[in-house]
A = this chain, B = another copy of it.
Amino acid sequence: MNLLGIDIGGTKTAVCIGHADGKILYSKRIPTTSESVEAYRHQLIELCHHVVEKANLRPEDLDGIGISAPGPLDCKRGVLIAPPNNPGWKDVPIQAMVQKTFKAPVFVNNDANACALAELLFGAYRGVRSLVYLTFSTGMGGGIIVNGQLIQGVTDTGGEVGHHVLDPEGPLCGCGQRGCWEAYVGGRNVAEQLKAKIKAGNISTSIVNKAGGLDKINLQAFEAAAREGDRFALAEWDIFTDRLAQGVGNLIMILNPEVILMGTIGIHAGDFVMGPILDKLPKYAWEWPRRACKVVPSSLGGKIGELSALAVAATGLKPSGG
C-alpha cells in the first residue's frame, strides 16, 4: 500500500510517502505559513505532487492519505477549527482541500491521537492492546488506545488528558479552567510560573542565563539548569515531575494500560525526567497496575511526525480493533 502522509505542525509541514509497515520512501518539509489559507493550500498540493513524483509514483498509485494536524479539529468533516499557531486560520476544510486533488481517501486526526496510532502500528511496543501517548510542547496533548482502538471520543476530544484537573485551586490554564494538568506541566505555563517566581523572589538562577533572558525561559533552559544542579531549578524540577507523576498515575488508575509513552520532553530529557516520575508514581497508582505499565520515552523519536500521518492513513483504511 502506498500512503501519503501530511503532518501539519505549528511551524513546519512535512509530507511523505510510505508503506503500511512504516517504511518512509521519501519526505520533504515546508514552512507552515500563517498567511493566507489559499497560499498554503497551493504550496501543500504542490509539495504532495512533488513527493509522489520523487517516490516514482503517480497520484493514482496512492491508496490512502493521512493528515495529522493540531487540534481542535472536526475529524469527521476534516476541518481544522482553529489551529493555535495560525491565528488567521479558522474552520479550514483541510480534508476537502486535499481530496479535491487526489482520488485516494483522505483521513484526518489530531497530532496526539496520530502519534498514539504511530506508536501502536510502528513503535517499539507495536502489537500491545493499550497505550497512552503524551506530548509536551507549548501545551500538552494525549492519545489513548484501548482494546486496540483509539479513544476518539464523541466530539473528537477523547484523550485531552492535559485538561483533567489535578487541583481545582491550581493555576489558571490557557483553556480557562483552573489546575489542569497542562497548567502544571505545559511549556507555556511552566515558563510563566518560573518567571513569576523568579521575579517575585528576586531569585538568582541559571535558568535565566540558559534561556538568554527572563522572558525567554522555556522547558529546555529549565531542564539544563536543573541538570547542572541549580538549586532553584532542582526544587522546581521536583514539583514539575511530581505533577507529571500525578497525571501519569491517574491515567494508570483509570485506564490500566500496558504502556505510557512520553514524547518531546520524554525523549530529550530521558532519565532525568523519567527517573523522578517513576520514583514518585507509588503516590499516585496502585502497585499491580503500576508494575504492569511501562512508562517510557516515545520510541519513534524525530520520525514520529511523518509516521503519525502515515498511521492516520493506515488506520483510516483498515480500522483496527475488535
Contacts and interface: CB of A to CB of B under 8 A. Distances in A.
Chain copies in complex = 2
A11 B187 CA distance: 51
Interface string A240-262: 00100010011101111110000
A292 B154 contact: yes
A167 B166 contact: yes
A204 interface: no
A284 B168 contact: yes
Interface stretch (A1-9, A141-149, A189-197, A302-310): A141-149
B284 A160 contact: no
A276 B217 CA distance: 41
A321 B320 CA distance: 11
Contacts of A293: 154
Contacts of A258: 154
A153 B293 CA distance: 10
Contacts of A154: 129-130, 256-258, 289, 292-293
Given A157-B286, A177-B283, A286-B160, A255 B151 contact: yes
Interface in A284-322: 284, 286, 288-289, 292-293, 321-322
Contacts of A283: 165, 168, 177-178
Contacts of A155: 256, 288-289, 292
A128 to B, nearest CB: 9
Nearest to A259: B154
A18 interface: no
A322 B286 CA distance: 30
A73 to B, nearest CB: 12
Nearest to A130: B154
A251 B249 contact: no
18 contacts: A146-B146, A147-B151, A149-B149, A151-B255, A154-B258, A157-B253, A157-B256, A157-B289, A159-B256, A160-B286, A161-B254, A163-B253, A164-B254, A165-B249, A165-B284, A166-B168, A168-B242, A250-B250
